[in-house]
Structure 1
Amino acid sequence: MPTNAATAAAKLSTAPMMDWTDRHCRFIHRQLSRQTLLYTEMVTAPALVRGGALHLLAHDPAEHPVALQLGGSDPKELAKAARLGEAAGYPEINLNCGCPSDRVQSGTFGAVLMRDPALVADCVAAMRAAVDAEITVKCRIGVDDQNPNVVLPEFLARIVAAGCERVTIHARKAWLKGLSPKENRDVPPLDYPLVMQMKEYFPNLHISINGGITSLDQAEQLLEAGLDGVMIGRAAYHQPADILCTADRRIFGSGPDTSAEDAVRTMLPYIEAHLRAGGRLHQITRHMLGLFAGRPGARGWRRTLSEGATKPGAGPELVHAALLQVTALASDAKAV
């Protein structure tokens, strides 16, 4: 897939989320939207280059358009990791400059890199020189006591000069001390106007906004306001059908709407193949619990999967039974 296809898909994307957006989650999301850009969990450059953990790059071709997010701060190591990512089939390599967790900080990457835009620029330049894949960055508006109005323009200017043509900005500061990663997703106030201002400052830079976006209505408003893309995180995970089932039509202007029911049915061959390969059902179904969020039968769907998927021998028949919790109620409602 050419890199410009990833840029086109970036009009709507799902956020990279540790322990959530693994290959099974991405495959499920792809059944709901054919065009939304999906991101991997963050994969650290040391794990690939020093640890040889190439299994972290595994993905199904059906996941495309899909991008790899890397964590790291050593330009040479990131360049090597980018080569491995490109060889694995990823058309976009994204550098994480936004994660505030202690574990990430100890590795001197993630949000702490907002303090060193020159180093980030070196990383981007090294990755650009190493691969043909598009190199992108995901960042915060600043960290700790930094003034975002000063820090963010300088940061963007540096990475643009290094060859970055697309960035996703989480419109919150990250507090590296005093707030947990969870609190860093909610407590620091959102500053959408600042991100909008960056689009005025850098009109040729493709800017996606992230943070606090919970519906396609919000996404459409932000796109209409002049931003190039919208990235949705937790809402896309916990209520994936609400975000993704109409995204192709509403955001991209083409493609039919999908349904959670059809997505479950198309997942069954994938589930069977996973089980034949020695996998466990819950490795997939844990990402499916929110498919019917807010609908009659959602509680029964979640309970059936949560209680049964970890049991030895659990298979597709359990997913069928869980789906009946929803479809039976829908049939009863039509009959009334």
Structure 2
Amino acid sequence: MPRYQSHRFSVAPMMDWSDRHCRAFHRTLSAQALLYTEMVTANAVIFGDRERLLGFSPMEHPVAVQLGGSEPEALARAARICADWGYDEINLNVGCPSDRVQGGNFGACLMRDPALVASCVAAMKAEVAIPVTVKCRIGVDDQDPEEALDALADAVLAAGADALVVHARKAWLQGLSPKENRDIPPLDYDRVRRLKQRLSQDFADVPVSINGGLNTLEDAAAQLAHVDGVMLGRAAYQNPELLLDVDALFFGAPNPYADGFAAVEAFEPYIAAHVAGGGRLHDITRHMLGLFTGRPGARAFRRRLAIDGVKPEAGIEVLRAAVDEVRRAEERRSLVA
């Protein structure tokens, strides 16, 4: 049995999306899922505005911080800072294909240097007591995924990595944009399954999670016959109501709320506190636009938030009015039926 049950289901780190307000919203929908921050570089943690970069609400636990970098000493220092801030896990990004990340010699390009990644993991492990994990691809560019993924996994596990999350695609660092790298390289779930099977002898208690192209909870749950955990990114962000079924399906725990209406009502105090403290409603509601996807009134919900929710004076009443658009549409449908 894996050591970290929270890895059975996690929401991926997503740049510009998985900020503290997004995570607080997702936590309202699932009490059990492991949440991740956006990637933050080690040097930003060391020298930057830590409250802005690392601040989070206690309600977000379990929550992991994802670090980017390739200098063991800097990553170790950043990991210690993050652990002191109260994060439950440190995750090293070995999968991001953006030009900016490549220019800093971290992210997916580190797939080419397993020994350096192992040094980074070992340095972080020496500094913190919380788990240190790695998120990677199955390879980059012309690498053979059989050799590349095995080499990376063997190196980081020997260095003490506590879990692996594998995006089941290659990253093409030349010729494809970061967006294209999320869709164009073919998925190879079997490669991740073979990795888990091979590791089951010497590293049976180290969770291996799979990421990439999982669009429904049913698709995700089916993967658990082969790996220890699943990670959803865009599907969870763009249709967050699916998170309401995660606790029961993946953890055998009661789902927190019956539907999106109840979840929004429960989330209102968090939103009201943010607005009362000088924050903007849009800071939070931009992460809620997909909540009622597929329901009658979903378009009107999004339109109300997109038009009225961005106004500087917008308050909780705008969100309530948007939710009422869905309620009224569903009532109209039920009357016709």
TM-score of the pair, normalised by structure 1:
0.96
Paired AA for residue 146 in structure 2: N
- Counterpart for residue 248 of structure 2: 249
For 1:63 and 1:15, locate their aligned partners in 2 and report how far apart those are by CA, in whole Å: 14
Deviation at 1:256, TM superposition (A): 2.7
Partner of 1:221: 222
Name the aligned partner's letter for residue 291 of structure 2: L
Three-state SS of the structure 2 residue aligned to 1:266 is: helix
Separation in 2, partners of 1:91, 1:26: 14
* 1:265-313 CA distance string (max 9 Å, x none): 1221111111122111111000000000111110010000000111121
Aligned to 1:287: 287
Structure 1, residues 108-128: CA drift from partner, whole Å, max 9, x if none?
Answer: 110011010000000000000
Q: How many Å separate the matches in 1 of 2:134 and 2:17?
A: 20
Q: Where does residue 212 of structure 2 map in the other structure? A: 211
2:146 maps to 149
Partner of 1:260: 260
Contact 1:249 1:257 in 2 (8 A): no
Aligned equivalents of 2:126, 2:237: Cα separation in 1: 34
Q: Which residue of 1 aligns with 2:187?
A: 190
Distance 2:277 2:72 in 1: 37
User: Counterpart of 1:68 in 2: which secondary structure?
Assistant: strand
Give the alignment of 1:7-156 within 5 angstroms: 7-156=4-153
**Counterpart Cα distance in 2 of 1:30 and 1:331:** 28
Q: Which amino acid aligns with 1:265?
A: E
How far apart are residue 52 of structure 1 and its match?
Answer: 4.8
Whole-angstrom CA distance in 2 between matches of 1:77 and 1:257: 39
Alignment of 1:158 onto 2:145: no
Quote the offset at 1:333 in angstroms: 3.2
Residue type of the alignment partner of 2:233: G
CA distance in 2, matches of 1:52, 1:75: 21
- 8 A contact 2:31–2:256 mirrored in 1: no
Deviation at 1:54, TM superposition (A): 4.2
Count of residues in correspondence between the two structures = 330
Match of 2:301 in 1: 301
Q: In angstroms, what is the RMSD of aligned CA positions?
A: 1.3
- Identify unmatched segments of 5+ residues in structure 1: none
**SS, match of residue 163 in structure 1:** coil
Where 2:231 maps in the other structure, the secondary structure is strand
Q: Which shifted more, 81-90 or 274-283?
A: 274-283
Question: CA separation in 2, counterparts of 1:52 and 1:298?
Answer: 37
Q: For residues 48 and 316 of structure 2, what CA distance do their matches in structure 1 show?
A: 35
Shift of 1:59: 0.4
Amino acid at match of 2:248: R
Give me the identity figure in percent: 55
Residues 138-172 of structure 1, C-alpha deviation per residue, up to 9 Å, x if partnerless? 00000011101111111100001000120000000
Moved more, 189-198 or 259-268: 259-268
- Aligned with 2:122: secondary structure? helix
Q: Distance in 2 between matches of 1:207 and 1:184?
A: 22
Query: Following TM superposition, by how much is the alpha carbon of 1:257 offset from its aligned partner in structure 2, in angstroms?
Result: 5.4
Q: Which runs of 4+ in 1 moved over 6 A?
A: none
Within-5 A mapping of 1:175-186: 175-186=172-183
> How far apart, CA to CA, are the structure 2 residues paired with 1:212 and 1:88?
32
CA contact (8 A) 1:48 1:54 kept: no
Spell out, residue by residue over 1:214-249, the C-alpha distance to the aligned partner (whole angstroms, 9 max, x if none): 00111111002x21000001000000112x111111
Tell me, what secondary structure is at the counterpart of 1:284?
helix
The letter of the residue matching 2:325 is Q
In the alignment, structure 2 segments of 5+ residues that lack a partner are: none
48-57 vs 125-134, which deviates more?
Answer: 48-57
Where 2:251 maps in the other structure, the secondary structure is coil
